[in-house]
């Protein structure tokens, strides 16, 4: 198994064990659907259907997906929600809600509302004109109405209650918004103030979807974002090493997310919010790539591997075997 697959499966197994155990002990029901909120780390193609440059519906993206077709996933193949869905025995991929090729019968067992480039902060979504998190929730409400019309209230409510919700979001709030544009830095001159602002938004989001029926949620915190190819590329003074300030910020913010997880599990009856922090797994891949089957971990898989992402990811200049390298994604 390739390095990325190995690390990903460690992460999936952790989620699988927790929720399969909790399902069998509480209600006897298996997870019937995977429902996804977030950014490019989990977007399965929603941005294809909105006017934004934050798309990946072209080669080399998707070249290792089924039939080699680019789908809008920011990956050479499937992404984490797809593998998690398969691990629960549901289906091999989770479709994008805005994709007209699918309908409510497809979405009944899994649906993705995520949008590449978005964040907890509405201002983050405005940077690339993508779907803000509040709009993802509105799509979820619309989905619920369609699901009840399709399956009836009882069955639909069961799916909503027993589904596993995957939430992966937050990196863009810092890298594409706070550290790129002046508005939020003027409003929150100390980054810890902005962190607390985001935690408040995250709490409101989780309480809202809890009120809509969500009960089992896996929350992925920030990755070691100082190790992303773009951040390393511009870190010239430190010889293109990881930007430790960004990594320390991610650890700090993840700690606050952990506090929020504990708080919400205590405050909301029947809520199962799991802190599925992938920071350490990703950092281990970056620091010790050979242990995971990678030959290269400091460049991406298209162009020079440093600045290219999204529409700049030129298919004419790409690595031959993506299983040996990390795909460019910021």
Q: 266-297 pLDDT, tens per residue?
A: 999 999 999 998 899 889 988 888 888 877 77
CA distance 81 to 68: 18
On whether residue 237 sits in a domain, the answer given is no
The answer to whether residue 150 is domain-embedded is yes
Predicted confidence band at 1 (pLDDT cuts at 50, 70, 90)?
very low
Mean pLDDT of the chain: 88
pLDDT single digits (tens) 156-176: 999 999 999 999 999 999 999
- Give the per-residue pLDDT at 8: 52
Query: What's the confidence (pLDDT) of residue 76?
Result: 87
**Helix axes 133-151 and 153-162, enclosed angle (nearest 10):** 140
Position 135 confidence tier, pLDDT thresholds 50, 70, 90:
very high
Residue 317 domain-assigned? Answer: no
238 within a domain of the structure (yes/no): no
Mean pLDDT of 81-109: 96
CB 79 within 8 A of CB 41: yes
Question: Phi then psi for 55, rounded to 5 degrees?
Answer: -130, 160
What size, in residues, is the chain?
330
Looking at the structure of the chain, the number of domains it has is 1
pLDDT confidence of 4, banded at 50, 70, 90?
very low
- The Cα 22–Cα 218 span in angstroms is 13
Per the structure, the complete domain to which residue 97 belongs is given by 34-226+247-288
The residues near 7 (Cβ < 8 Å, ≥ 6 apart) are 281, 282, 284, 285, 292
- Which neighbouring-strand residues pair with 166? 36, 218
Q: What pLDDT is recorded for position 290? A: 87
The answer as to whether 148 is a domain residue is: yes
Q: Given this model, what pLDDT does residue 238 score? A: 87
Range with lowest mean pLDDT among 12-16, 94-98, 209-213, 263-267: 12-16
pLDDT reported for residue 207: 98
Phi, psi angle pair for 16, to nearest 5°: -60, -50
For 307-324, how does the pLDDT look when each residue is reduced to its tens digit (9 = 90+)? 566 666 766 666 777 665
Structure-model confidence comparison of residues 141 and 10, the more confident one: 141
CA distance 234 to 86: 38
* Stronger pLDDT, 14 or 159, i.e. the higher one: 159
Tell me the average pLDDT across 67-72.
Answer: 91
In a domain, 273, yes or no: yes
Q: Answer whether residue 5 shows pLDDT above 80.
A: no
State residue 146 phi and psi, 5-degree precision.
-65, -40
Closest CA to 19 of 109, 93, 114, 89: 89
167's enclosing H/E stretch is strand 164-168
CATH number at residue 88: 3.40.50
What is the Cα–Cα distance from 170 to 166, expressed in whole angstroms?
Answer: 13
* pLDDT(222) > 80: yes
- What is residue 305's predicted lDDT score, i.e. its pLDDT? 64
pLDDT band at 23 (very low <50, low <70, confident <90, very high): low
Residue pair 93/66 in contact by the 8 Å Cβ criterion: yes
Let me know if residue 158 belongs to a domain: yes
Using CB atoms within 10 Å of the CB of residue 236, give its burial: 0 to 12 exposed, 13 to 18 middle, 19+ buried. exposed
Q: How far apart are the C-alpha atoms of 79 and 94, rounded to whole Å? A: 9
From residue 254, alpha-carbon distances to 23, 107, 151, 217, 260 in Å are: 26, 31, 38, 16, 10
Quick one: pLDDT at residue 228? 84
User: How much is the pLDDT for 210?
Assistant: 98
Element (H, E) at 247: helix 244-267
Side-chain-facing half-sphere of 295: CA atoms under 13 Å? 7
Backbone angles phi, psi at 304, to 5 degrees: -75, -15
- Asked if residue 253 lies in contact with residue 198, where contact means CB atoms within 8 angstroms, the answer is yes
Instruction: Assign 22 to helix, strand or coil.
Output: helix
Q: Which phi and psi (to 5°) does residue 51 adopt?
A: -80, 90
């Amino acid at each position: 198994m390739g390095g990325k697959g190995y690390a990903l499966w460690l992460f999936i197994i952790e989620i699988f064990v927790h929720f399969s155990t909790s399902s069998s002990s509480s209600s006897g029901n298996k997870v019937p659907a995977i429902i996804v909120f977030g950014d490019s780390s989990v977007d399965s193609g929603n941005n294809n259907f909105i006017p934004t440059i934050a798309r990946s519906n072209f080669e080399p993206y998707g070249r290792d997906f089924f039939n080699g077709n680019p789908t809008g996933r920011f990956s050479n193949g499937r992404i984490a929600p797809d593998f998690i869905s398969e691990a629960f025995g549901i289906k091999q991929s989770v479709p994008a809600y805005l994709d007209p090729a699918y309908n409510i019968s497809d979405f009944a067992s899994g649906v993705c509302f995520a949008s590449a480039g978005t964040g907890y902060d509405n201002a983050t979504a405005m940077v690339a004109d993508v779907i803000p998190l509040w709009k993802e929730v509105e799509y979820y409400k619309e989905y619920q109405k369609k699901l009840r019309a399709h399956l009836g209230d009882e069955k639909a409510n069961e799916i909503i209650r027993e589904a596993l919700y995957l939430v992966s979001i937050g990196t863009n709030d810092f890298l594409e918004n706070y550290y790129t544009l002046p508005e939020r830095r003027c409003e929150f001159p100390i980054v810890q103030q902005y962190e607390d602002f985001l935690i408040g938004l995250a709490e409101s989001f989780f309480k809202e979807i809890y009120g809509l029926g969500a009960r089992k949620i896996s929350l992925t915190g920030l990755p070691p974002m100082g190790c992303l190819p773009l951040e390393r590329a511009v870190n010239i003074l430190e010889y293109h090493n990881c930007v430790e300030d960004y990594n320390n910020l991610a650890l700090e913010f993840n700690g606050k997310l952990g506090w929020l997880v504990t708080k919400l599990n205590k405050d909301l009856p029947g809520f199962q919010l799991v802190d599925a922090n992938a920071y350490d797994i990703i950092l281990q891949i970056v620091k010790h790539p050979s242990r995971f089957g990678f030959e290269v971990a400091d460049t991406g898989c298209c162009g020079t591997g440093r600045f290219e992402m999204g529409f700049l990811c030129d298919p004419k200049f790409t690595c031959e075997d993506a299983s040996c390298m990390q795909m460019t994604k910021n």
